[in-house]
Amino acid sequence: MKKPDLSKLKDVDFRKAARDFVYGKPHGERRLGDLYIPKTGLYKHREWRGIKDTMYYFNNIWLYNYGMIVRDLMVYGGGPKGAIQFLKGTWRYRWMGQTYLTVMHWFDRCLEGMRGETLKASAWHFRGITSACLYQITGFFNRDLNIGGDPALRAKTIGTDETVWGGIIYPYMDQGGYYLPTQMIPYFVTCHCNNHTVLNYIDAVQAYGLPGDPCPMCQAEAGIYIEDDVPDAYVAMVTTNEACDSSVGTSVIQDWMMNKPLFAMPQVMQFDDDSVLENCAKEIEMAWRFIEEQTGLEFHWDELVKHIELQNQQTRFEWEKWDVASNTSNYPINGVAQALYRIFYSQYGERPFWHEVDAKVRKIMEKCVEEDINTFPMTRHRVIAWSCAPLYYSAWCTWAYNCWGLNTIINMDSLMFDMEIRTDSYEDCLLDCAKYHEWAPMRRMAVGGLQHIFELWENMEKFNCDMVMMYDQLQCKGMQGVVGLFEDEFRARNIHAIWMPHALPDKRTVPRSEIRRIINDYMFTVMGEEPLDPSLLDFDDIDSW
């Protein structure tokens, strides 16, 4: 037997090793890339974050979330029957089994390298998103006639395009009115958890003759209908033109494939114009009437007010968070947690689990501010991310902070829905609801008029950012149409902007490794900087979730 080479021990700094064991290696000495199994993007083992944070991660994130997933399943699903429906749904729907069983790897990727209060606050956001997903998954399966769901529940359920704001159902919630954004769970969240799932749906719609150049998000949304992979859990559908021309095309496919009563609730694009609001408000009223006709539910003004007031609370807290993010170094939420949580709750609408998360996060954030905790101590650049983001690589901002110290403070989609809704009168409320709809994701700035796309400059200033991560969605006609104008402005304003090409859900067009390479190149050659963690510069994760 070969004797161990004890001479190497002479070089070991035991004090430092002990410190690293207790507190974790400091940022700058970590080699997080070494944790991956080559060519998989999967972990050999979890990251050692020091005793306290590793224990927190294991107990309060990993174990806690598994436990809460089971709890949510039983509570939202209504007990054992819900669990059976869940199993049947997992068997029936490709997106379910393929995606959501990998959920904890999603947590790992997005929370990589996080420590202390940042780890805690970011993880709470993921807890909120997971709970919201289970709320919808059980909502789907309990009502789904394809797997023996309850027709009585289905009769009070409206399916919608995922870009229809969930507030549409507020007036009916006390009567069991239920809202299911039909693509959010089968498609949108899947891209983040397991980016392989969606490829099947893109291929399906192209096999039917759709060219490859329309927005791939809309392709995938249409593909789940082509594949008959949307649960039959709702009695009628409300659709919209949000966010772009392709969304209109998706509605056409949805209609032909599902063959249910459908109400189109289009919203105007040039929303600055006050002369257009009245039209949108009337469309919302017509949508309410449609829901009432289809479900037999009645419009309850008090119920609408109740939920809007609760939603306004969420919005006001978001503004508090933005205030901390803008003006301090104490903001404890990483880029991906901030972005996904914000888009999810503001689109899906007010529900109790968001408030529970907000209460936890408020506590953490207040602690950070009171104790002046520098939550991202290795920040070299404060980044604002603009335009529509790569869904298959939403965790890029975690990687960019760990590798380069690029701290993503805010992104464009978080700034949509940036308003309180008045409840002082029906008329004011209705007009504000119309405005809220018009300020939808990828719409408020991306295709709602050039002047809004250029709100980038004032938001850079507001959030105290010195760099732009300019998402370059290759199939977005709206954003591709202004690339030249942006380049002129970046040069004129002397702003460092990295163009990040991507194809929303389709990683085959621009792989994640290519995105990293482009950022690496810019940081080396233009910024002249060296990475904080060279092990993260290049690794092969094409096959990973």
Site residues, another protein (CB under 8 A) = 205, 208-211, 213-215, 218, 222, 239, 241, 244-246, 248-253, 255-256, 261-264, 266, 268-270, 273, 275-276, 278-279, 282-283, 286, 447, 449-450, 477-478, 481-482, 485
Residues in the chain: 545
Cβ closer to another protein: 73 or 238? 238
Rounded to an integer, what distance in angstroms lies between the CA atom of residue 356 and that of residue 341? 13
d(CA 104, CA 545): 11
The strands making up 467-473's β-sheet, listed across from edge to edge, are 406-411, 381-386, 467-473, 496-502
Pick 270 or 374: Cβ nearer another protein: 270
Beta-bridge partner residues of 471: 500
Write down the least CB distance from residue 511 to another protein, Å.
23
Q: Which is nearer to another protein, 70 or 286 (CB)?
A: 286
Question: Between 73 and 204, whose beta carbon lies closer to another protein?
Answer: 204
Per DSSP, helices labelled H in 328-351 are 335-348
3-state secondary structure of 4: coil
Look-up: residue for tokens 């919203």?
267
The continuous run of DSSP H or E covering 160 comes out as strand 157-160
Q: How far, in Å, CA of 189 to CA of 224, rounded?
A: 13
Which string of DSSP letters, residue by residue, matches 296-307? -----HHHHHHH
**Closest separation between CB of residue 471 and another protein, Å?**
16
Given the complex with another protein, which of 42 and 264 has the nearer CB atom? 264
Cβ(510)–Cβ(6) below 8 Å:
no
Find the distance separating the first CA and the last CA of the chain, reported in whole Å: 41
Q: How far is the CB of 252 from another protein (least distance, A)?
A: 5
Least spacing, CB of residue 240 vs another protein, in Å: 8
Distance, in Å, from the CA atom of 301 to the CA atom of 539, rounded to the nearest integer, reads 55
**Residue 477 Cβ, how far from another protein at the closest point, in Å?**
4
Virtual torsion, Cα 421, 427, 428, 434, nearest 10 deg: 50
> Rounded to the nearest whole angstrom, what is the least distance from the CB of residue 212 to another protein in the complex?
9
Minimum CB separation from another protein for residue 284, in Å?
11
CB of 358 closer than 8 Å to CB of 385: no
Tell me whether residue 208 or residue 301 sits nearer to another protein (CB atom). 208
Burial class (CB in 10 A: 0-12, 13-18, 19+), 488: exposed
DSSP 536: G
> Which residue, 248 or 527, has its beta carbon nearer to another protein?
248
- HSE of 395, CA atoms in CB hemisphere, 13 A: 26
- Taking the least distance from each CB to another protein, the nearer of 33 and 449 is 449
Identity of the residue, 482 or 518, whose beta carbon is nearer to another protein in the bound complex: 482
User: Smallest distance from the beta carbon of 207 to another protein, in angstroms?
Assistant: 10
Instruction: Supply the minimum distance, in Å, between the C-beta of residue 338 and another protein.
Output: 28
Retrieve residue 369's tokens: 């501010």
